[in-house]
A and B are shown apart, each in its own frame.
Chain A
Amino acid sequence: MKWSQFFSTSIGKKLLVGATGFFLCTFLIVHLAGNFSLMKDDGGQAFNLYADFMGHNLLIQALAWGLKAVIVIHAFLAIQLTIRNQKARPVKYAVKPGNKTSSWFSRQMAIMGSILLIFIVIHLANFWWKMHYGGIPTSVYDGKKVGDLYTVVWKAFGKVELVALYVVGMIALAFHLVHGFKSSMQTFGFNHPKYNGMINFIGLWIFGILIPALFALIPVYIYFNKI
Protein backbone atom coordinates (compact mmCIF):
# COMPACT_ATOMS: atom_id res chain seq x y z
CA MET A 1 0.00 0.00 0.00
CA LYS A 2 1.45 3.35 -1.06
CA TRP A 3 1.53 6.25 1.40
CA SER A 4 -0.78 8.23 -0.90
CA GLN A 5 -3.27 5.35 -0.76
CA PHE A 6 -2.91 5.03 3.01
CA PHE A 7 -3.62 8.69 3.66
CA SER A 8 -6.55 8.76 1.23
CA THR A 9 -8.48 6.20 3.33
CA SER A 10 -10.83 7.38 6.07
CA ILE A 11 -8.68 5.76 8.77
CA GLY A 12 -5.46 7.25 7.32
CA LYS A 13 -7.00 10.73 7.40
CA LYS A 14 -8.34 10.13 10.91
CA LEU A 15 -4.85 9.15 12.05
CA LEU A 16 -3.58 12.54 10.84
CA VAL A 17 -6.46 14.41 12.48
CA GLY A 18 -5.82 12.52 15.74
CA ALA A 19 -2.04 13.01 15.62
CA THR A 20 -2.26 16.74 14.84
CA GLY A 21 -4.94 17.10 17.53
CA PHE A 22 -2.74 15.34 20.08
CA PHE A 23 0.19 17.59 19.15
CA LEU A 24 -2.04 20.65 19.66
CA CYS A 25 -3.02 19.29 23.09
CA THR A 26 0.64 19.07 24.14
CA PHE A 27 1.24 22.58 22.75
CA LEU A 28 -1.52 23.90 25.04
CA ILE A 29 0.50 22.84 28.10
CA VAL A 30 3.58 24.80 26.91
CA HIS A 31 1.46 27.83 25.97
CA LEU A 32 -0.29 27.83 29.35
CA ALA A 33 3.00 27.58 31.26
CA GLY A 34 4.28 30.68 29.42
CA ASN A 35 1.04 32.58 30.05
CA PHE A 36 1.42 32.28 33.81
CA SER A 37 4.30 34.79 33.68
CA LEU A 38 1.63 37.38 32.73
CA MET A 39 0.38 37.21 36.29
CA LYS A 40 3.83 37.78 37.83
CA ASP A 41 4.02 41.12 39.63
CA ASP A 42 7.26 42.37 38.01
CA GLY A 43 5.98 44.95 35.54
CA GLY A 44 6.14 42.43 32.72
CA GLN A 45 9.86 41.61 32.75
CA ALA A 46 9.49 37.80 32.92
CA PHE A 47 6.73 37.70 30.30
CA ASN A 48 8.45 40.12 27.89
CA LEU A 49 11.78 38.30 28.06
CA TYR A 50 9.94 34.98 27.54
CA ALA A 51 8.03 36.45 24.54
CA ASP A 52 11.25 37.85 23.10
CA PHE A 53 12.97 34.47 23.42
CA MET A 54 10.01 32.69 21.78
CA GLY A 55 9.96 35.28 19.00
CA HIS A 56 13.66 35.15 18.14
CA ASN A 57 14.89 31.62 18.83
CA LEU A 58 15.24 29.92 15.43
CA LEU A 59 14.16 26.47 16.62
CA ILE A 60 11.09 27.92 18.35
CA GLN A 61 10.26 29.95 15.24
CA ALA A 62 10.47 26.82 13.07
CA LEU A 63 8.20 25.02 15.55
CA ALA A 64 5.80 27.99 15.55
CA TRP A 65 5.39 27.82 11.77
CA GLY A 66 5.06 24.03 12.05
CA LEU A 67 2.33 24.62 14.62
CA LYS A 68 0.40 26.82 12.20
CA ALA A 69 0.75 24.12 9.52
CA VAL A 70 -0.54 21.53 12.01
CA ILE A 71 -3.62 23.66 12.74
CA VAL A 72 -4.30 24.01 9.00
CA ILE A 73 -3.87 20.25 8.38
CA HIS A 74 -6.08 19.37 11.38
CA ALA A 75 -8.86 21.74 10.24
CA PHE A 76 -8.61 20.87 6.54
CA LEU A 77 -8.80 17.09 7.05
CA ALA A 78 -11.53 17.41 9.68
CA ILE A 79 -13.63 19.51 7.28
CA GLN A 80 -12.99 17.00 4.49
CA LEU A 81 -14.09 14.09 6.72
CA THR A 82 -17.13 16.01 7.98
CA ILE A 83 -18.30 16.70 4.41
CA ARG A 84 -17.83 13.01 3.61
CA ASN A 85 -19.80 12.05 6.74
CA GLN A 86 -22.65 14.38 5.79
CA LYS A 87 -22.80 12.84 2.31
CA ALA A 88 -22.96 9.35 3.83
CA ARG A 89 -26.52 10.11 5.03
CA PRO A 90 -28.31 12.13 2.34
CA VAL A 91 -31.79 11.61 3.87
CA LYS A 92 -31.85 12.47 7.58
CA TYR A 93 -33.96 10.78 10.25
CA ALA A 94 -37.22 12.41 11.34
CA VAL A 95 -36.58 11.38 14.96
CA LYS A 96 -33.08 11.59 16.45
CA PRO A 97 -31.89 9.77 19.60
CA GLY A 98 -30.43 12.88 21.28
CA ASN A 99 -28.10 11.97 24.15
CA LYS A 100 -29.44 8.43 24.58
CA THR A 101 -26.78 6.75 22.45
CA SER A 102 -23.88 9.22 22.41
CA SER A 103 -22.61 12.18 24.40
CA TRP A 104 -23.54 15.71 23.32
CA PHE A 105 -19.84 16.68 23.21
CA SER A 106 -18.99 13.87 20.79
CA ARG A 107 -21.53 15.20 18.28
CA GLN A 108 -20.38 18.85 18.38
CA MET A 109 -16.74 18.39 17.33
CA ALA A 110 -17.15 20.16 13.98
CA ILE A 111 -19.05 23.11 15.49
CA MET A 112 -16.67 23.55 18.44
CA GLY A 113 -13.71 23.12 16.08
CA SER A 114 -15.08 25.85 13.79
CA ILE A 115 -15.54 28.23 16.74
CA LEU A 116 -11.98 27.44 17.83
CA LEU A 117 -10.60 28.12 14.36
CA ILE A 118 -12.25 31.56 14.30
CA PHE A 119 -10.97 32.14 17.83
CA ILE A 120 -7.40 31.20 16.83
CA VAL A 121 -7.45 33.64 13.88
CA ILE A 122 -8.67 36.49 16.14
CA HIS A 123 -6.16 35.49 18.84
CA LEU A 124 -3.24 35.56 16.38
CA ALA A 125 -4.39 38.92 14.98
CA ASN A 126 -4.64 40.33 18.52
CA PHE A 127 -1.18 39.45 19.73
CA TRP A 128 1.05 37.49 17.36
CA TRP A 129 0.45 39.80 14.37
CA LYS A 130 0.88 42.94 16.51
CA MET A 131 4.09 41.59 18.07
CA HIS A 132 5.66 40.74 14.70
CA TYR A 133 4.23 43.24 12.24
CA GLY A 134 2.16 45.77 14.16
CA GLY A 135 4.86 47.69 15.98
CA ILE A 136 4.48 47.52 19.74
CA PRO A 137 6.06 49.61 22.52
CA THR A 138 9.43 48.45 23.84
CA SER A 139 10.96 47.98 27.28
CA VAL A 140 14.62 47.76 28.28
CA TYR A 141 15.82 45.09 30.74
CA ASP A 142 19.54 45.04 31.68
CA GLY A 143 20.36 47.02 28.55
CA LYS A 144 18.34 44.66 26.32
CA LYS A 145 15.51 46.23 24.31
CA VAL A 146 12.54 43.93 23.87
CA GLY A 147 8.94 44.33 22.69
CA ASP A 148 6.51 45.12 25.53
CA LEU A 149 3.84 42.52 24.75
CA TYR A 150 2.93 42.50 28.44
CA THR A 151 1.43 45.99 28.23
CA VAL A 152 -0.38 45.11 24.98
CA VAL A 153 -1.96 42.06 26.63
CA TRP A 154 -2.90 43.89 29.86
CA LYS A 155 -4.46 46.75 27.89
CA ALA A 156 -6.36 44.35 25.63
CA PHE A 157 -7.88 42.43 28.52
CA GLY A 158 -9.04 45.63 30.10
CA LYS A 159 -11.89 45.46 27.58
CA VAL A 160 -14.76 43.32 28.79
CA GLU A 161 -15.79 42.23 25.26
CA LEU A 162 -12.36 40.75 24.58
CA VAL A 163 -12.35 38.94 27.94
CA ALA A 164 -15.80 37.54 27.09
CA LEU A 165 -14.56 36.40 23.66
CA TYR A 166 -11.62 34.58 25.25
CA VAL A 167 -13.84 32.90 27.84
CA VAL A 168 -16.20 31.73 25.06
CA GLY A 169 -13.17 30.49 23.09
CA MET A 170 -12.00 28.49 26.09
CA ILE A 171 -15.48 27.00 26.63
CA ALA A 172 -15.37 25.84 22.99
CA LEU A 173 -11.89 24.41 23.65
CA ALA A 174 -13.17 22.58 26.72
CA PHE A 175 -16.13 21.09 24.86
CA HIS A 176 -13.86 20.11 21.94
CA LEU A 177 -11.33 18.35 24.16
CA VAL A 178 -13.78 16.52 26.46
CA HIS A 179 -14.29 14.21 23.48
CA GLY A 180 -11.22 15.10 21.40
CA PHE A 181 -8.47 13.75 23.63
CA LYS A 182 -9.97 10.33 24.31
CA SER A 183 -11.22 10.10 20.71
CA SER A 184 -7.66 10.56 19.42
CA MET A 185 -6.50 7.71 21.67
CA GLN A 186 -9.22 5.42 20.27
CA THR A 187 -8.20 6.39 16.72
CA PHE A 188 -4.56 5.53 17.51
CA GLY A 189 -5.83 2.14 18.62
CA PHE A 190 -5.20 2.69 22.35
CA ASN A 191 -8.16 0.94 23.89
CA HIS A 192 -7.42 -1.34 26.81
CA PRO A 193 -9.49 -1.87 29.97
CA LYS A 194 -6.38 -1.24 32.07
CA TYR A 195 -5.77 2.22 30.59
CA ASN A 196 -9.21 3.42 29.44
CA GLY A 197 -10.04 4.85 32.87
CA MET A 198 -6.84 6.89 32.88
CA ILE A 199 -7.39 8.11 29.29
CA ASN A 200 -10.95 9.18 30.11
CA PHE A 201 -9.76 10.92 33.29
CA ILE A 202 -7.01 12.88 31.50
CA GLY A 203 -9.38 13.74 28.63
CA LEU A 204 -12.12 15.06 30.90
CA TRP A 205 -10.30 16.58 33.87
CA ILE A 206 -6.95 17.73 32.44
CA PHE A 207 -7.77 18.71 28.84
CA GLY A 208 -11.53 19.16 29.17
CA ILE A 209 -11.64 21.18 32.37
CA LEU A 210 -8.33 22.16 34.02
CA ILE A 211 -6.38 23.54 31.04
CA PRO A 212 -9.24 25.56 29.46
CA ALA A 213 -10.22 26.89 32.91
CA LEU A 214 -6.65 28.06 33.64
CA PHE A 215 -6.41 29.68 30.18
CA ALA A 216 -9.71 31.50 30.76
CA LEU A 217 -8.64 32.55 34.25
CA ILE A 218 -5.80 34.76 32.96
CA PRO A 219 -7.88 37.36 31.00
CA VAL A 220 -10.43 37.39 33.84
CA TYR A 221 -7.63 37.97 36.39
CA ILE A 222 -6.16 40.79 34.27
CA TYR A 223 -9.59 42.41 33.83
CA PHE A 224 -10.14 42.58 37.58
CA ASN A 225 -6.60 43.74 38.33
CA LYS A 226 -6.18 46.10 35.36
CA ILE A 227 -3.67 48.90 35.43
Chain B
Amino acid sequence: MKLTLKVWRQKNVQDKGRFENYEVSDVSKDMSFLELFDVLNERLINEGKEPIAFDHDCREGICGACSMYINGRAHGPWEQTTTCQLHMRAYNDGDTIVVEPWRAAAFPVIKDLTVDRSAFDRIIQAGGYISVNTGNAVDANAIPIEKHDADMAFAAAACIGCGACVAACKNSSAMLFTSAKVSQLALLPQGHPERTSRAEDMVMQMDKEGFGSCTNTGACEAECPKGISISNIARMNREFFSAGFTS
Protein backbone atom coordinates (compact mmCIF):
# COMPACT_ATOMS: atom_id res chain seq x y z
CA MET B 1 0.00 0.00 0.00
CA LYS B 2 1.00 3.58 -0.56
CA LEU B 3 -0.24 6.08 2.02
CA THR B 4 -0.02 9.81 2.63
CA LEU B 5 0.51 10.78 6.27
CA LYS B 6 -0.30 14.28 7.43
CA VAL B 7 1.44 14.45 10.81
CA TRP B 8 1.51 17.21 13.43
CA ARG B 9 5.10 18.38 14.02
CA GLN B 10 5.91 20.62 16.96
CA LYS B 11 9.43 21.22 18.30
CA ASN B 12 8.49 21.93 21.91
CA VAL B 13 5.80 23.39 24.19
CA GLN B 14 6.43 26.94 22.96
CA ASP B 15 6.46 26.08 19.24
CA LYS B 16 3.21 26.76 17.37
CA GLY B 17 3.48 23.53 15.34
CA ARG B 18 2.25 22.64 11.86
CA PHE B 19 1.25 19.66 9.72
CA GLU B 20 3.81 17.96 7.51
CA ASN B 21 3.06 15.51 4.71
CA TYR B 22 4.90 12.21 4.29
CA GLU B 23 4.45 9.68 1.50
CA VAL B 24 5.01 6.12 2.72
CA SER B 25 5.12 3.29 0.20
CA ASP B 26 5.33 -0.52 0.64
CA VAL B 27 3.09 -0.44 3.71
CA SER B 28 2.13 -3.97 4.75
CA LYS B 29 -1.46 -4.67 5.83
CA ASP B 30 -0.03 -6.67 8.75
CA MET B 31 1.89 -3.72 10.21
CA SER B 32 0.60 -2.03 13.32
CA PHE B 33 0.04 1.72 13.16
CA LEU B 34 3.09 2.30 15.36
CA GLU B 35 5.24 0.07 13.11
CA LEU B 36 4.24 2.34 10.23
CA PHE B 37 5.73 5.20 12.24
CA ASP B 38 8.85 3.11 13.03
CA VAL B 39 9.41 2.58 9.29
CA LEU B 40 8.84 6.26 8.54
CA ASN B 41 11.14 7.33 11.39
CA GLU B 42 13.97 5.05 10.18
CA ARG B 43 13.70 6.68 6.79
CA LEU B 44 13.72 10.17 8.34
CA ILE B 45 16.82 9.29 10.41
CA ASN B 46 18.60 7.94 7.29
CA GLU B 47 17.73 11.16 5.50
CA GLY B 48 19.27 13.10 8.39
CA LYS B 49 15.88 14.50 9.47
CA GLU B 50 14.32 14.68 12.92
CA PRO B 51 12.18 11.55 13.56
CA ILE B 52 8.55 11.98 14.72
CA ALA B 53 8.24 11.78 18.51
CA PHE B 54 5.39 9.57 19.72
CA ASP B 55 4.64 7.72 22.96
CA HIS B 56 4.66 3.91 23.11
CA ASP B 57 5.65 1.23 25.58
CA CYS B 58 4.16 -2.27 25.81
CA ARG B 59 2.71 -2.44 22.27
CA GLU B 60 0.28 -5.04 23.63
CA GLY B 61 -2.67 -2.71 24.21
CA ILE B 62 -2.39 -2.69 28.00
CA CYS B 63 -0.06 0.13 29.06
CA GLY B 64 -1.91 3.21 27.81
CA ALA B 65 1.23 4.96 26.56
CA CYS B 66 0.39 5.22 22.86
CA SER B 67 -1.87 8.09 21.99
CA MET B 68 -2.40 9.65 18.50
CA TYR B 69 -5.64 11.20 17.25
CA ILE B 70 -6.08 9.55 13.86
CA ASN B 71 -8.49 10.98 11.25
CA GLY B 72 -10.63 12.54 13.96
CA ARG B 73 -10.64 9.46 16.22
CA ALA B 74 -8.69 8.78 19.41
CA HIS B 75 -6.57 5.65 18.76
CA GLY B 76 -8.01 5.38 15.23
CA PRO B 77 -11.22 3.95 13.79
CA TRP B 78 -11.41 0.56 15.54
CA GLU B 79 -13.53 0.16 18.67
CA GLN B 80 -11.86 -0.63 21.99
CA THR B 81 -8.40 -0.59 20.40
CA THR B 82 -5.21 1.24 21.34
CA THR B 83 -3.05 2.71 18.56
CA CYS B 84 -0.49 -0.09 18.90
CA GLN B 85 -3.23 -2.65 18.23
CA LEU B 86 -4.60 -0.75 15.23
CA HIS B 87 -3.34 -2.49 12.11
CA MET B 88 -2.86 -1.13 8.62
CA ARG B 89 -5.54 -3.45 7.19
CA ALA B 90 -7.90 -0.75 8.49
CA TYR B 91 -6.74 1.39 5.54
CA ASN B 92 -6.72 1.19 1.76
CA ASP B 93 -4.06 2.00 -0.83
CA GLY B 94 -3.91 5.73 -1.52
CA ASP B 95 -5.53 6.81 1.77
CA THR B 96 -4.53 10.05 3.47
CA ILE B 97 -4.27 9.75 7.24
CA VAL B 98 -4.22 12.84 9.49
CA VAL B 99 -2.41 12.24 12.80
CA GLU B 100 -2.68 14.77 15.64
CA PRO B 101 -1.65 14.73 19.29
CA TRP B 102 -4.25 14.62 22.11
CA ARG B 103 -5.62 18.17 22.30
CA ALA B 104 -6.25 19.56 25.78
CA ALA B 105 -4.99 22.50 27.81
CA ALA B 106 -4.26 20.00 30.60
CA PHE B 107 -2.19 17.82 28.20
CA PRO B 108 0.42 20.22 26.76
CA VAL B 109 2.31 18.95 23.70
CA ILE B 110 5.92 18.13 24.64
CA LYS B 111 7.00 17.32 21.10
CA ASP B 112 5.18 16.26 17.90
CA LEU B 113 2.61 13.63 19.02
CA THR B 114 3.86 13.34 22.61
CA VAL B 115 1.81 15.05 25.30
CA ASP B 116 2.36 15.53 29.03
CA ARG B 117 -0.26 13.41 30.80
CA SER B 118 1.07 14.01 34.33
CA ALA B 119 -2.22 15.78 35.17
CA PHE B 120 -3.68 12.25 35.48
CA ASP B 121 -0.95 11.32 37.97
CA ARG B 122 -1.81 14.34 40.10
CA ILE B 123 -5.52 13.37 40.08
CA ILE B 124 -4.51 9.89 41.35
CA GLN B 125 -2.19 11.43 43.97
CA ALA B 126 -5.10 13.58 45.21
CA GLY B 127 -7.11 10.54 46.33
CA GLY B 128 -6.75 7.46 44.14
CA TYR B 129 -5.23 5.30 46.85
CA ILE B 130 -6.27 3.22 49.89
CA SER B 131 -4.91 2.86 53.42
CA VAL B 132 -3.24 -0.49 54.06
CA ASN B 133 -1.86 -1.69 57.39
CA THR B 134 1.74 -2.80 57.31
CA GLY B 135 2.68 -6.36 58.26
CA ASN B 136 1.97 -9.65 56.56
CA ALA B 137 -0.06 -9.54 53.39
CA VAL B 138 -3.74 -10.23 54.11
CA ASP B 139 -5.21 -13.32 52.47
CA ALA B 140 -6.75 -12.28 49.15
CA ASN B 141 -10.15 -13.72 50.03
CA ALA B 142 -10.32 -12.57 53.67
CA ILE B 143 -12.98 -9.94 52.94
CA PRO B 144 -16.12 -11.27 51.27
CA ILE B 145 -17.11 -9.11 48.28
CA GLU B 146 -20.32 -9.53 46.35
CA LYS B 147 -19.62 -10.90 42.85
CA HIS B 148 -21.54 -8.12 41.08
CA ASP B 149 -19.56 -5.39 42.90
CA ALA B 150 -16.28 -7.19 42.29
CA ASP B 151 -17.07 -7.39 38.56
CA MET B 152 -18.01 -3.70 38.37
CA ALA B 153 -14.86 -2.68 40.26
CA PHE B 154 -12.80 -4.85 37.94
CA ALA B 155 -14.41 -3.30 34.86
CA ALA B 156 -13.59 0.19 36.19
CA ALA B 157 -10.05 -0.90 37.08
CA ALA B 158 -9.47 -1.83 33.43
CA CYS B 159 -8.76 1.89 32.80
CA ILE B 160 -5.19 2.26 31.55
CA GLY B 161 -5.08 6.05 31.91
CA CYS B 162 -4.31 6.62 28.23
CA GLY B 163 -6.27 9.88 28.02
CA ALA B 164 -8.39 8.89 25.01
CA CYS B 165 -11.48 10.04 26.95
CA VAL B 166 -10.01 13.54 27.27
CA ALA B 167 -8.91 13.52 23.62
CA ALA B 168 -12.34 12.37 22.40
CA CYS B 169 -14.42 14.71 24.58
CA LYS B 170 -15.38 17.99 22.90
CA ASN B 171 -14.77 19.66 26.29
CA SER B 172 -11.47 17.86 27.04
CA SER B 173 -13.14 16.55 30.18
CA ALA B 174 -11.38 13.96 32.35
CA MET B 175 -14.60 12.70 33.95
CA LEU B 176 -14.40 9.16 32.54
CA PHE B 177 -10.83 8.63 33.77
CA THR B 178 -11.48 10.17 37.21
CA SER B 179 -14.78 8.32 37.60
CA ALA B 180 -13.19 4.97 36.73
CA LYS B 181 -10.60 5.50 39.47
CA VAL B 182 -13.20 6.73 42.00
CA SER B 183 -15.58 3.85 41.15
CA GLN B 184 -12.97 1.13 41.33
CA LEU B 185 -12.23 2.05 44.95
CA ALA B 186 -15.76 3.09 45.99
CA LEU B 187 -17.14 -0.33 45.01
CA LEU B 188 -14.75 -2.27 47.25
CA PRO B 189 -14.64 -2.31 51.07
CA GLN B 190 -10.91 -1.58 50.96
CA GLY B 191 -11.69 1.79 49.44
CA HIS B 192 -14.18 2.90 52.08
CA PRO B 193 -11.96 4.62 54.71
CA GLU B 194 -11.13 7.50 52.30
CA ARG B 195 -14.36 7.33 50.33
CA THR B 196 -15.59 10.87 51.15
CA SER B 197 -12.32 12.75 50.88
CA ARG B 198 -11.36 10.79 47.74
CA ALA B 199 -14.42 11.94 45.75
CA GLU B 200 -13.93 15.55 46.82
CA ASP B 201 -10.17 15.73 46.36
CA MET B 202 -10.01 13.95 43.00
CA VAL B 203 -12.81 16.07 41.52
CA MET B 204 -11.21 19.29 42.78
CA GLN B 205 -7.81 18.26 41.37
CA MET B 206 -9.47 17.39 38.05
CA ASP B 207 -10.94 20.91 37.89
CA LYS B 208 -7.65 22.49 38.96
CA GLU B 209 -5.77 20.81 36.10
CA GLY B 210 -7.93 22.69 33.60
CA PHE B 211 -9.99 19.82 32.17
CA GLY B 212 -13.43 20.81 30.88
CA SER B 213 -16.71 19.71 32.42
CA CYS B 214 -18.83 16.80 31.23
CA THR B 215 -21.82 17.38 28.93
CA ASN B 216 -22.74 13.68 28.78
CA THR B 217 -22.18 13.32 25.03
CA GLY B 218 -20.78 9.82 25.54
CA ALA B 219 -17.82 10.34 23.16
CA CYS B 220 -15.41 9.17 25.90
CA GLU B 221 -17.20 5.83 26.28
CA ALA B 222 -17.28 5.37 22.49
CA GLU B 223 -13.50 5.90 22.23
CA CYS B 224 -12.26 4.22 25.42
CA PRO B 225 -9.93 1.35 24.44
CA LYS B 226 -10.98 -0.52 27.58
CA GLY B 227 -14.73 0.01 27.23
CA ILE B 228 -15.13 1.95 30.48
CA SER B 229 -18.84 2.80 30.86
CA ILE B 230 -20.18 6.30 31.55
CA SER B 231 -22.23 4.69 34.32
CA ASN B 232 -19.00 5.29 36.27
CA ILE B 233 -19.47 9.04 35.74
CA ALA B 234 -22.96 8.77 37.26
CA ARG B 235 -21.42 6.85 40.17
CA MET B 236 -18.75 9.51 40.69
CA ASN B 237 -21.46 12.19 40.68
CA ARG B 238 -23.31 10.24 43.40
CA GLU B 239 -20.07 9.83 45.38
CA PHE B 240 -19.33 13.53 45.03
CA PHE B 241 -22.85 14.59 46.05
CA SER B 242 -22.96 12.36 49.12
CA ALA B 243 -19.50 13.65 50.08
CA GLY B 244 -20.33 17.30 49.40
CA PHE B 245 -23.75 17.21 51.12
CA THR B 246 -22.53 15.57 54.31
CA SER B 247 -18.89 16.40 54.91
Q: Does B112 contact A (CB under 8 A)?
A: no
Residues of A1-31 contacting chain B, CB below 8 A: 1, 5-6, 9-15
- Which residues of the other chain, A, contact B210 by a CB distance below 8 angstroms? 87-88
Q: Does B171 contact A (CB under 8 A)?
A: yes
Kindly state the separation between the CA atoms of A47 and B105 in the bound complex, as whole angstroms: 54
- Which residues of the other chain, A, contact B106 by a CB distance below 8 angstroms? 88
Kindly state the separation between the CA atoms of A183 and B237 in the bound complex, as whole angstroms: 13
CB nearest to B8 among chain A residues: A94
Q: Contacts A85-B171, A89-B105, A89-B171 hold; do A187 and B207 have CB atoms under 8 A apart?
A: no
The 6 closest A-B pairs by CB, nearest first: A88-B212, A191-B234, A85-B171, A189-B238, A10-B213, A95-B72
Kindly state the separation between the CA atoms of A168 and B203 in the bound complex, as whole angstroms: 39
Kindly state the separation between the CA atoms of A90 and B105 in the bound complex, as whole angstroms: 6
Q: Does B188 contact A (CB under 8 A)?
A: no
Whether B72 and A98, one on each chain, are in contact in the complex, defined by CB atoms closer than 8 angstroms, is: yes
Chain A, interface residues (CB within 8 Å), range? 35 or more
Whether A102 and B170, one on each chain, are in contact in the complex, defined by CB atoms closer than 8 angstroms, is: yes
Whether B217 and A106, one on each chain, are in contact in the complex, defined by CB atoms closer than 8 angstroms, is: yes
- Which residues of the other chain, A, contact B235 by a CB distance below 8 angstroms? 189, 191
Instruction: Name A residues whose Cβ lies closer than 8 Å to a Cβ of B.
Output: 1, 5-6, 9-15, 81, 84-98, 100-103, 106-107, 109, 179, 182-183, 186-192
Whether B217 and A103, one on each chain, are in contact in the complex, defined by CB atoms closer than 8 angstroms, is: yes
Q: Most B CB atoms within 10 A — which of A9, A12, A190?
A: A9
- Which residues of the other chain, B, contact A84 by a CB distance below 8 angstroms? 212-213
Kindly state the separation between the CA atoms of A139 and B240 in the bound complex, as whole angstroms: 55
Q: Classify the secondary structure of B's interface with A.
A: mixed
CB nearest to A188 among chain B residues: B237
Write the B86-125 contact mask toward A (1 if CB under 8 angstroms, else 0).
Answer: 0000000000001010011110000000000000000000
Whether B105 and A10, one on each chain, are in contact in the complex, defined by CB atoms closer than 8 angstroms, is: no
Whether A186 and B234, one on each chain, are in contact in the complex, defined by CB atoms closer than 8 angstroms, is: yes
CB nearest to A95 among chain B residues: B72
Q: Contacts A81-B213, A85-B173 hold; do A12 and B71 have CB atoms under 8 A apart?
A: no
A84 to chain B minimum Cβ distance, whole angstroms, is 6
Whether B216 and A106, one on each chain, are in contact in the complex, defined by CB atoms closer than 8 angstroms, is: yes
- Which residues of the other chain, B, contact A188 by a CB distance below 8 angstroms? 237
Whether A85 and B237, one on each chain, are in contact in the complex, defined by CB atoms closer than 8 angstroms, is: no
- Which residues of the other chain, A, contact B98 by a CB distance below 8 angstroms? 94-95
A-B contact pairs, 6 of them (CB 8 A): A89-B212, A91-B17, A95-B98, A102-B218, A187-B237, A192-B231
